[in-house]
Amino acid sequence: MKSRAIVQTGKRQLELQQFDIPNIGDDEGLLRIEQSGVCGSDWSQYKMGHFSGVVPGHEPIGIIEEIGSIAAQRWNVKKGDRVAVETMLPCGFCRPCVSGKYNLCIAAGEKGINAYGYHSIEIKPSLWGGHAEYMYLDPHTLLHKVSKDIAPEVAVMFNPLGAGVRWAGVLPQTKIGDVVVILGCGQRGLASVIGAKESGAKMVIVTGLGVDGHKLEIAKAFGADRTVNVEKEKIVDVVREMTNGLMADVVVEVTSGATQPVVDSLDIAGRGGRIVLAGAKYGRVPEFDSNKMMRKELTMMGALAVDFNAYESAVGIIESGKYPLELMHTHTYPLAESDLALRVLGNEVEGEHGIHVSITPE
């Protein structure tokens, strides 16, 4: 039997290819993909072609098609279960792994980057990515069972939602009564609204640009108290006014590229505030005033990816049906239109406003 899969062969070059489905050993599995979330990093990989000869896609949900006896025991799932698969394939032995920070696993090994979506198709069984019909489940896989009652386009948002839980909740230790300011309203910014609310935030403020009106509406539907178009209002002034000058307990920076929000975050945070930096930048941040950090005893932390507990929480939130997550999912494309899916996510297609986009085998 064969599986179709998208292969990135160069900059902006995707090809639909076919690969043999492997025999599954005792500690492995095979996933029949239902949906594969398109990540912002898929978009930059598509544009830049950092990795060539890979099956992209590292945010898949699907059904366990085959599973070995050891894997079934380890993962506590059986054939026919629906699962969300984590991005990382941690080695399990390096220092970050054994200290519980497997998202920072050192061992890239012979497979290159130790995550789904980035292994060469030269490494058997080639099916290392979610933008495909089937994905191989390596023994190092981490996964989470998800109820089949949830619509697939909602269930597949476990990945951005896990980021929102970890970045706006767990890492900055957001607690009941906190004021949380989220800079940026892409899928991770919107998910951060939910992460903040679930952690007990009493006030959530979200920023965006003039073109982000529809995203800011979704932020409100998720529970944001105030949205700010930074082209019209100064976020620092809005926060000052809304907090009676006390400013924010937590600032989550999830804009992509822009450096000004990082500079602003030092003014938005109040005394003893925590700042989470999770948006990738193209260059260094100018005019960074470390005195502001010192005088207010700010804590600034970086955030990379999601971990097991945050994924578990995300799946729980999805299954609770508490938030209208479907508002955030804007587009689903078949494998053959992966190119379009990526360009929509990258805002390259006139008239389309992608927030969360996914690819499905059909």
Cβ distance to Zn ion smaller for residue 41 or 44: 41
Q: Could you tell me which of 46, 38, 43 has the C-alpha nearest to residue 11?
A: 46
- Closer to Zn ion by Cβ: residue 130 or 270: 130
Kindly give the interhelix angle for 187-198 and 158-165, rounded to the nearest 10 degrees.
50
Which of the stretches 73-81, 86-94, 169-177, 236-244 binds Zn ion when contact is defined by CB under 5 A?
86-94
Q: Which is nearer to Zn ion, 130 or 273 (CB)?
A: 130
> For residue 356, how far is the Cα from the chain centroid?
10
Rounded Cα gap, residues 254 and 205, in angstroms: 13
C-beta of 10 vs 92, nearer to Zn ion: 92
**Which secondary-structure segment (H or E) carries 167?**
none
For Zn ion, the closer of residues 188 and 226 by Cβ is 188
Which one of residues 21, 83, 85, 97 is an interface residue with Zn ion (CB under 5 A)?
97
Q: Does 91 bind Zn ion (CB under 5 A)?
A: yes
Spatial CA neighbour of 3 closest among 38, 28, 37, 30: 30
Where do we find the tokens 């679930």? 198
Stretch that binds Zn ion, among 92-100, 165-173, 184-192, 195-203 (CB under 5 A): 92-100
Among candidates 192, 222, 197, 219, which has minimal Cα distance to 208? 219
Sole window of 72-80, 99-107, 292-300, 342-350 interacting with Zn ion (rule: CB under 5 A): 99-107
Closest CB 162 distance from Zn ion, rounded Å:
10
Query: Taking CB under 5 A as the rule, does residue 105 contact Zn ion?
Result: yes
From the CB of 94, what's the least distance to Zn ion, in Å? Answer: 3
Nearer to Zn ion, 6 or 239 (CB): 6
Nearest residue (CB) to Zn ion, 227 versus 360: 360
Tell me the DSSP string of 305-347: S--HHHHHHHHHHHHHT-S-GGGTEEEEEEGGGHHHHHHHHTT
Interface pattern 41-70 for Zn ion (x via CB under 5 A) = x-----------------------------
Strand order in the sheet with 203-208: 226-229, 203-208, 179-183, 248-253, 269-277, 299-302
Q: Does 94 bind Zn ion (CB under 5 A)?
A: yes
Under the binding rule (CB under 5 A), the answer on residue 39 touching Zn ion is: yes
Neighbours of 160 (CB within 10 A): 27
* CA distances for 69 relative to 74, 76, 81, 293, angstroms: 9, 10, 15, 53
Residue range at the interface with Zn ion (CB under 5 A); choices 105-113, 161-169, 207-215, 236-244 = 105-113
117 touches 56 (CB < 8 A): yes
Asked if 107 touches Zn ion (CB under 5 A), the answer is yes
Interface with Zn ion by CB under 5 A: which residues? 39, 41, 90-91, 94, 97, 105, 107
